[in-house]
Structure 1
Amino acid sequence: MTTYRLHYLLAPSLVLTLLCCSCQEKKATPSRQALNELNLRSGQLITCGPPNQQLGTLTFPISCHTETQTNFSLGLKLLHSFEYEEAEKVFAAIIRQQPTCPMAYWGVAMSTFHPLWTPPSEPELRKGANALAIAQALPPSSPKETAYIAALATFYHDWKTVGHRPRCLRFAQAMEKLAARYPDDPEATILYALALTAAADPADKSFAQQKKAGALLTALAPKYPNHPGIIHYQIHAYDIPELAPQALPAARKYAAVAPSSAHALHMPSHIFTRLGLWKEAIASNLGSVAAAKCYAEQAGLQGHWDEELHGLDYLMYAYLQEGNNQRAKQQWTYLQSITAVEPTTFKVAYAYAAIPARYVLENRQWQQAAALQLPSAPVPWEQFPWQEAIHHFARLMGAVHTDNNAAAQTEWQTLQRLENTLKQQKDAYKAQQVHVQVMTGEAWMQWQEGKAEAAAALMRRAAALEDSTEKHPVTPSEVLPARELLGDMLLAMNRPDEALAAYETNLQKHSNRFNGLYGAGLAAERAGNSDKARRYYQQLLSIAAPSATRPELTQVRRFLQSQPSSSTNTSISLRLGGKNSFVSGY
């Protein structure tokens, strides 16, 4: 880890009111009050990783003082790797040194935007809008810089009355015009690609925006091979099952280009997860978690940094797909020891809800799932209904499979309430994700009541609805994919051919999932397709960790040992729970 001190960060406040040599210049200098109201970040610049800053390379000349150029480039590199707090420190330091530098205010406003994360909070929106207002009040520096500032202002304009996505669309349209106007400026195209991905409709299964963004970045990559924004935004643009293979070269490069960024260490795991490359996903997140711990320590946080918990969730998921319950359980145990996190973001709430749910649901530990307790701290759950729903979904599935119909009904009603809350908040995407859980829970309750056809029909609808949109980047995967659960249900109904089709469709989107491969192998075996069963079982063994001890692996090996000399249709049982406590199927 390395801590860097910008030489002017600790300069006295007089730098905010630099003496100007004419009355006209004095009028152009922002007032002390306006600068103070921005509440700009200050302090040491913190990066963790190599002993020298390694954040990639880029060039973006600005018209401010020559001595600010290096620091502006540093701030932009941090911005491209989503190190937003540290980027703001750099841009704020430029403002303290040269308060008449318009692009420094643009940098502050970009630092509070974070296009691919959760929408900016009200204080962040106010800061960004005020920063741009100052920039636009300064004498124009150059037509191009004026265009950059105006383009970003389209996002902040009317933020009190216009929703987040419409403003993202406005920004994308403005950046398209800017990139067309300055075709020789790579930053314009790079930021346009970022804007395209941020404004993409999650329900658009053609992925037109993401493909366009990826193509723009891919065209620039040969000329700027170590530009952090190009590599990073390629990963985001292609963070979709159908497109993920195109991002694999970028995923394998990003951490080496920007190892001083915790996010750069983590982000490749999005693609590794999409492609089921569990060893690479684990290595990526071990590095990012270590860097996040370092950052929390050096920043003097009272608790852990939110980026650490984001990495933990991805790490838990990868360990589970290797069947490595020991390592997976360690992540849950470690999470339970964390009592303070800064800031308490949507990522933190997601990790606290998803990590325990993943462990018990992936392992079919239904009693434990039914008894899961939601941590009372450090998450204010009333602010995160989508994340809270994960917890109640796990409890519902546990109650169904342990024949506790009353408890299942209670959890189902809670999910409905949380869905309604999200609808009232006009968060259609998250409301739909919870609705999938509502439908899934109802389907399994109907199955438990003996209403097989109604249950299967409802489960198919839930799977289709989940398939109609993409997952949020905060999560490596749904805690249990709906189409995989459809396969589980059909297998429990002794309909192996239909179950196999469901598993195979799900594996196209969730590559190398442990339960998906096992379910597909079991369904193929029960359908009398020993060759296909063997292929799926062998694939499962190929991804399993050497230390994996899940009982399914023992049964898989027993089946494979009976092949190919024998075509015996060995039956493998799975723990479904409930009235069929040990039935042959999920």
Structure 2
Amino acid sequence: MCGPATGGQPPLLKALILARTETTPFQPAPMNAAGGEVPLFPDLGRLHLRVGTRSPAAQKYFDQGLRLAFGFNHAEAQRAFRAAQKLDPSCAMCWWGEALVLGPNINAPMFPEAVAPAAAALAKAVELSKGAPGRDRDLIEALAKRYATDPKAERAPLDAAYADAMKALAQRYPKDPTILALYAEAAMDTQPWDYWEAAGARPKGRGAEIVAALEQALKLDPDHPGAIHLYIHAMEASTQPEKALAPARRLAAQMPGAGHIVHMPAHIYYRVGLYRESLEANKRALKVDERYFSLSPSDPLYRAAYYPHNIHFVMVSAQMGGDAATALDAAAKLDASMANDVVRQFPIMQPVKAAPYTTHAQFASPEATLALPAPDRTLVLVQAMYHYARAVAYSQKKDEAGARREIDAIAKLGKEADLKPFGEWGIPAAEIMETARLVASARLADSKGDLEGAAKAYEDAIFLEDSLSYMEPPYWYYPIRQSLAAVRLRQGRLEEAERSFRESLARVRNNGWALAGLAEVYRRMGDKASEAEVRQAYARAWFGSATPDIGRL
């Protein structure tokens, strides 16, 4: 998932938050399943944290809430904690759980509408904690550092205070993997999606503490779903994402009924170049989420953001593996899953809504791409990628006027559109749009036979691509160095082509497109041993029905 907002709150998001919080205080929202009851889902694993309660049923709902919280289905977790409260109103930790999930997380900030319900739940937990077991009291006391009754209170000091309190608890309970995972998450919330610097080589801020806490949790319990989930997020942007590969392979089996958990291994699979595994993981995650939607009304935020995220991963994994049919099918499904009125209020969703156009640019015929309907004119980044795909299509048709018209449209959007809302959500919209303009310009130059002009545009685009912040899937859908390498290959500048293909593969591992190009370089060099080695790697990475077209690299 994308990172959190850093500024204003869209009206629709406000409405969605209100839907979670403006109910009769601490009463579960109506459910469609199990005769109106909050269901106990049978396939959320075995994670258990013993809390002070007289009710075995309340303990079951508490454990379900904790599992769902670690699975980032916060609204369903809230319903479980509320069900536990009904079964045992004296269970302090059942109120702690609700307060916990109403707070910020690495994918969403805490909004003012959640402050009062969180404070009320926490106050109840504090009131009941006098008779609670020691660990329960400690967790409640730590969480009390996270909230203020004033909805305008600055979040950063509160989040830092909570992280510090959880660090102290982790030192007090060094053999408790759940407390270690909760500490790591509290620390991650102070710097969401920003745990590394020096291009992923050096931990940033609390990054080293986060990794150490999660690695200690996994030593204690290698199958702890919360620790694995968070470890994947902690390591994916580093230069060593493979350190999380073995835990990632274990994760889905720990909570097979949680779609986001089933999806999460793909964050590592994609980073280490296991695109087929990434594709299959997300296909399974979609089935899990669709079954869940049939059992529960589900949180609008989960349905609007996490579910499309899985479809997006299906699409990009198929793109990297060359599976055109699957990628194009997923592109259509992704577009249909994201309503314009939702995306309009969530700038963070626009890169995802725009992504299907990249699949058409990569795989579709020019005629099919040019037949696509225009998107909502208020979706600036989506519009830019629509024009990008059309520019690529016109270049494929060698229609210079058409391509220039679309390239100019991208430039016009970049100059005239209000991109401030994107900045408030941490989205590098200007850089994405300029990258699109440059790559489209390179494709046009290539179509005219101006290979040096194409190379120059690609080099400028690479400079921008390298500046884009980390996101998974990436903000730009493929490594542009492979396009530069393909141009150098066609120019006969084989050493430069080899270098650029190698650089591309260093950044995006096992990329079948770049491997195909590199194999061709070695064929032309007459280096049969290197060619054979690269073709073997290509055969493992590529699962498309057609051989990559060097002209579309």
Q: TM-score range by the shorter chain?
A: 0.7 to 0.9
Q: Within 5 Å, which residues of 2 pair with 1:131-530?
A: 131-136=121-126, 140-141=130-131, 144-157=135-148, 161=152, 168-198=159-189, 199=191, 201=194, 204=197, 205-208=200-203, 209-210=206-207, 212-240=209-237, 242-299=239-296, 305-306=303-304, 307-335=306-334, 350-354=351-355, 356-363=356-363, 365=365, 368-369=368-369, 372-376=372-376, 390-395=385-390, 397-398=392-393, 402-403=399-400, 404-417=403-416, 420-422=419-421, 425-427=423-425, 429-431=426-428, 434-439=430-435, 441-442=437-438, 445=441, 448=444, 459-460=458-459, 462-468=461-467, 470-473=469-472, 475=473, 478-488=476-486, 490-491=488-489, 495-525=493-523, 529=527
Partner of 1:549: 545
Task: Give the match for residue 71 of structure 2.
Answer: 81
Q: CA deviation at 1:190?
A: 1.0
- Which of 29, 38, 42 matches 1:41? 29
Alignment of 1:33-72 (within 5 A): 36-37=24-25, 40-43=28-31, 53-67=42-56, 68-72=58-62
* 1:44/1:440 CA distance change after superposition, 3 Å: closer
Give the letter for the 1:219 counterpart.
Q
SS in 2 for 1:221: helix
Give the letter aligned to residue 41 of structure 1: A
1:128 and 2:97 equivalent?
A: no
Q: CA deviation at 1:417?
A: 4.8
CA shift at 1:62, angstroms?
A: 2.6
Larger deviation: 35-44 or 278-287?
35-44
> Would you say the 8 A contact 2:481–2:500 is kept in 1?
yes
Question: Which AA in structure 2 matches 1:89?
Answer: R
Find the residue that maps to 2:424 and give its secondary structure.
coil
1:538 pairs with one of 527, 536, 539: 536
- Shift, 1:153, TM fit: 4.7
> Is the deviation greater in 320-329 or in 94-103?
94-103
Unaligned runs of 5+ in 1: 1-32, 553-572, 577-585
User: Displacement of 1:89 after TM fit?
Assistant: 0.9
Give how far 1:117 is off: 2.0
Contact residue 503 and residue 520 of structure 1 kept, 8 A: yes
Deviations 1:153-185 (A, max 9, x none): 554448855676676555433322332243343
Work out the CA distance in 2 between the residues paired with 1:517 and 1:243: 21
From the CA coordinates, give the structure whose radius of gyration is larger: 1
Amino acid at match of 1:506: S
Shift of 1:460: 3.9
Identify if the C-alpha distance between structure 1 residues 322 and 466 changes in structure 2 by more than 3 Å, giving closer, same or farther: closer
Aligned mates of 1:34, 1:398 — CA distance in 2: 49
Distance 1:419 1:435 in 2: 14
* Cα distance change, pair 374–526 in 1 and its aligned pair in 2 (3 A): farther
* Paired residue type of 1:575: G
* Total equivalences in the alignment: 509
- In 1, Cα distance between the equivalents of 2:487 and 2:89? 64
| Structure-2 change in CA distance of 1:517 and 1:186 (3 Å) | same
In the other structure, the counterpart of 2:550 is 574
Cα distance change, pair 541–187 in 1 and its aligned pair in 2 (3 A): closer
C-alpha separation in 2, matches of 1:437 and 1:275: 27
Pair 365,521 (structure 1): closer, same or farther in 2 beyond 3 Å: farther
Q: Note the C-alpha offset of 1:88.
A: 0.9
CA contact (8 A) 1:364 1:575 kept: no
Find the aligned partners of 1:246 and 1:444 in 2 and give their Cα distance: 37
Counterpart code for 1:544? W
Q: AA paired with 1:225?
A: P
SS of corresponding position for 1:175: helix
Contact 2:439 2:457 in 1 (8 A): yes
Q: Deviations over 1:467-506 (max 9, x none)?
A: 3555324x26732334444435555665443333232222
Checking the alignment, whether the CA contact within 8 Å between 1:273 and 1:318 is kept in structure 2 is yes
**Distance of aligned partners of 1:364 and 1:100 in 2 relative to their CA distance in 1, 3 Å threshold:** same
Counterpart contact for 1:323–1:549, Cα < 8 Å: yes
CA contact (8 A) 1:78 1:87 kept: yes
The TM-score with structure 2 as length reference comes to 0.77
Q: Give 2:167's aligned amino acid.
A: E
Provide the rounded CA distance (Å) in 1 between the counterparts of 2:66 and 2:216.
21
Distance in 2 separating the partners of 1:532 and 1:97: 67
Percent of residue pairs identical:
23
Q: State the TM-score, normalizing by the size of structure 1.
A: 0.73
Q: CA RMSD in A?
A: 4.1
Match of 1:575, SS state, is helix
CA gap of 1:125–1:302, structure 2 versus 1, over 3 A, is closer
- Structure 2 unpaired stretches of 5+: 1-20, 35-39
8 Å CA contact 2:129–2:137 kept in 1: the answer is no
